[in-house]
Every structure is written in C-alpha cells, then in structure tokens.
C-alpha cells in the first residue's frame, strides 16, 4: 500500500459534512446537524414500500410543501441548544418556579386573594392547560415533520417548554382547589374550555391549526400567529391583571413563562429569516399569516373581554402580536 492510499484511508475526526470547516465543530453542530435519514430519498423517505402510508404522508405534507429551500440543513438555531444545555437551562427555571410555589404557599397567597379574582382564575387561568397542551401537541408534530434536524430541535425543546406550562398550570389549579374548594378548580376546566365564551376563539384557532398537516403552514400558524397571541393574552395581559388583583404569584409565574416565549420568538425569527432567503417564500408565508391572523384576532378579542380590570387588553394584545410579526419581517 503506497503513502497516497494510506492518506486516503485516514479516518475523519468528525462527521464528513463538518470535516471541511477550518475550525473545530461546536457541540451543537456535532450532535444536531444532518441527522435525518428520511430526507435522503424524496420519493421514499422511509425504507418501506413507496406507497406505504408513512411515505405518502411525508411526501405530501413535507416534501411537496409549497415552501421551498435548497438546503434546509443549513439552518442553525441562534440559541444553539442541545439536550445537555437545554436541561441545564430549564433546571434553573424549574428551581426558580418551585421556589416561587413553595414561598407563596408558606405565605398563604391563595387565602389573601379576593373572591372575584378566584372566580376569574377559575374561568380564564385554570383552563389554559388545554391551550398549552395544544401547543405541546403542535410542537410534537413539527418535531416529526420538519425537513432538517436543526429545525426539529426547535420543536423538540419548545414541546418540553409547553409541557412545563401544562404542569405548572395543573399544579396551581390543584393548589387553588384546596384553598377554594367551592370554586370548582379541577372540576370545571373542560366545560370552560369547550363552552366558555372567553375560550372559543382560541379553541377554534388551535383545533383548526392542529389539523393543518403541511409542516411549513403548521409552523407559520403556530409559531408566527398562535403562540404570540397566547403570549399576548395569557402571559402578558392575564399576568398584568394578576398584579392589579394582588396575585403576585401568578404574575411572577407568567414572567417565568415569558422567558421561554422570548427564546421561542428569537428562534422563530431566525427560522423565518432563513425561509425568506428563497424567492417566492415571503408571499406564501404572508398569505398563511393573513389566513390565520383573522382567527387569532377573534381569539384575542374573546379572551381579553373577560379581563375586565384591563379595558385596553384587546388593543394591547393585538398590538403586541403585530409587533412580533413585524420583528419577523411580516405584516
């Protein structure tokens, strides 16, 4: 064997797609990039019969999406989160939330709030776990359908965040049920979600978005339209109403969730900017935004009407959601 042959057989020190870089690959690049095996064959994503339902689904709702890009694997998360760093980040968040829950429980927070505010919480806060669960389900679907592993990662960790929101809301609902057993906490949330006027806009919005199978439209619907509307109404407006009504615990829990939402918005901004580098994508995305924003506006109007302590809640929520869209380069 000559020296040239020996050189050609020299093992790579990293993945082949990272070997041409002039610098050492980061942890994020090593464990996150180019991991989807089911993007190699556009006609048969999975190694089963081409007409198998799984192949047909991925071809139709991912590969044939009207939103195109020459290299989806080129996308990078601006936060560069990996499983290890995400857990470190959210361990700190959970320690903070646990500290809040324990401290305010010791102070008797739930015994100090008014009857009127308890009734409001039963109607507009406790049922939010259904809305948060819809966000978790949407993120789980996008985790499966995204055309690159770096985009999948965004959905993966956002799904984890939404599960934490569900958990925190359920925990508080149980606490409130012990302090106010006659208020219906833990008993009437499903009825509120399915029948309450304040929730029907959001219910229609997310139920329709959850059966939007095209991965790109579902991403735009949830990350560009639905989530900013949820943030504007529940985390911001309800959080402000909590401050006015002396519920400092809920206001601080809302602030903690906003840290997750702020990160989601930064990631979505980066993803949308990446999508917009392809000619024709902006028109497609804006059409989707216009379609879903009509439902989101109805949802914000219905929900904020229940926050009677905040007469400007609807306008403020809509303005905030619009500012997020504009930060993404959209109307």
CATH number at residue 155: 1.10.620.20
Q: Lowest-confidence range among 13-27, 66-80, 137-151?
A: 13-27
Per-residue pLDDT of 209-256, as tens digits, reads: 999 999 999 999 999 999 999 999 999 999 999 999 999 999 999 999
In a domain, 44, yes or no: no
Confidence tier at 22 by pLDDT (50, 70, 90): low
Is pLDDT above 80 for 318? yes
What pLDDT score does 68 carry? 96
Q: Span 161-179, mean pLDDT?
A: 97
Place of tokens 């610098």: 23
Q: Whole-angstrom Cα distance, residue 172 to residue 168?
A: 6
Q: Whole-angstrom Cα distance, residue 46 to residue 55?
A: 6
Token pair, residue 138, equals 């949407």
Reduce the DSSP state of residue 148 to 3 states and report it.
Answer: coil
In a domain, 196, yes or no: yes
Q: Whole-angstrom Cα distance, residue 43 to residue 41?
A: 6
Nearest to 61 by CA among 254, 279, 280, 219: 219
Listed in order, strand segments (DSSP E) in the chain are none
Residue 51's CB is within 10 A of a number of other CB atoms, namely 8
Domain of residue 147: give its range. Answer: 72-327
Mean residue pLDDT of the chain comes to: 93
Q: Whole-angstrom Cα distance, residue 28 to residue 79?
A: 10
What pLDDT score does 23 carry? 64
> What sign does the dihedral 17-22-28-31 (CA atoms) show?
positive
Place of tokens 């219906």: 184
Which residues, at least 6 apart from 240, have a Cβ–Cβ distance to it below 8 Å? 251, 310
In a domain, 9, yes or no: no
In a domain, 31, yes or no: no
Which residues, at least 6 apart from 150, have a Cβ–Cβ distance to it below 8 Å? 32, 33, 73, 75, 76, 77
pTM of the full structure? 0.91
Instruction: Confirm if 281 and 121 have CB atoms less than 8 A apart.
Output: no
Helix axes 281-304, 197-209, angle to 10 degrees: 160
In a domain, 6, yes or no: no
Place of tokens 């949407």: 138
Q: Whole-angstrom Cα distance, residue 252 to residue 17?
A: 44
Nearest to 176 by CA among 234, 121, 106: 121
Reduce the DSSP state of residue 104 to 3 states and report it.
Answer: helix
In a domain, 311, yes or no: yes
Number of domains in the chain: 1
In a domain, 17, yes or no: no
Q: Where are the alpha helices (DSSP H) in 180-238?
A: 189-195, 197-209, 215-219, 227-230
Which residues, at least 6 apart from 270, have a Cβ–Cβ distance to it below 8 Å? 75, 76, 77, 78
In a domain, 48, yes or no: no
Place of tokens 């959850």: 210
Phi, psi of 43 (to 5 degrees): -85, -25
């Amino acid at each position: 064997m000559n020296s040239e042959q020996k050189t050609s057989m020299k093992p790579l020190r990293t993945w082949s797609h990272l070997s041409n870089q002039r610098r050492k690959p980061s942890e994020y690049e090593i464990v996150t990039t180019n991991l989807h095996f089911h993007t190699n064959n556009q006609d048969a994503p999975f190694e089963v019969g081409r007409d198998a339902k799984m192949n047909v689904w991925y071809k139709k709702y991912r590969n044939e999406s009207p939103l195109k890009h020459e290299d989806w694997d080129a996308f990078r998360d601006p936060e560069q989160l990996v499983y290890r760093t995400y857990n470190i980040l959210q361990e700190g968040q959970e320690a903070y939330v646990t500290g809040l829950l324990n401290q305010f429980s010791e102070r008797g927070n739930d015994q100090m709030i008014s009857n009127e505010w308890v009734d409001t919480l039963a109607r507009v806060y406790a049922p939010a776990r259904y809305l948060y669960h819809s966000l978790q389900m949407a993120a789980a679907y996008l985790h499966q359908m995204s055309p690159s592993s770096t985009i999948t990662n965004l959905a993966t960790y956002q799904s984890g965040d939404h599960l934490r929101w569900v958990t925190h809301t359920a925990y508080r609902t149980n606490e409130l049920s012990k302090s106010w057993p006659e208020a219906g906490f833990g008993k009437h949330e499903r009825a509120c979600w399915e029948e309450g006027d304040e929730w029907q806009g959001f219910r229609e919005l997310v139920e329709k978005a959850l059966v939007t199978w095209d991965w790109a439209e579902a991403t735009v619907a949830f990350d560009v339209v639905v989530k900013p509307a949820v943030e504007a109404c529940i985390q911001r407006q309800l959080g402000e109403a909590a401050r006015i009504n002396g519920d400092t615990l809920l206001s601080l829990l809302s602030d903690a969730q906003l840290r997750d939402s702020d990160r989601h918005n930064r990631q979505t901004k980066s993803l949308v900017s990446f999508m917009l580098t392809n000619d024709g994508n902006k028109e497609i995305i804006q059409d989707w935004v216009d379609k879903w924003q009509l439902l989101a506006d109805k949802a914000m109007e219905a929900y904020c009407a229940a926050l009677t302590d905040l007469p400007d809640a609807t306008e403020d929520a809509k303005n905030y959601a619009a500012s997020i869209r504009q930060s993404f380069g959209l109307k």
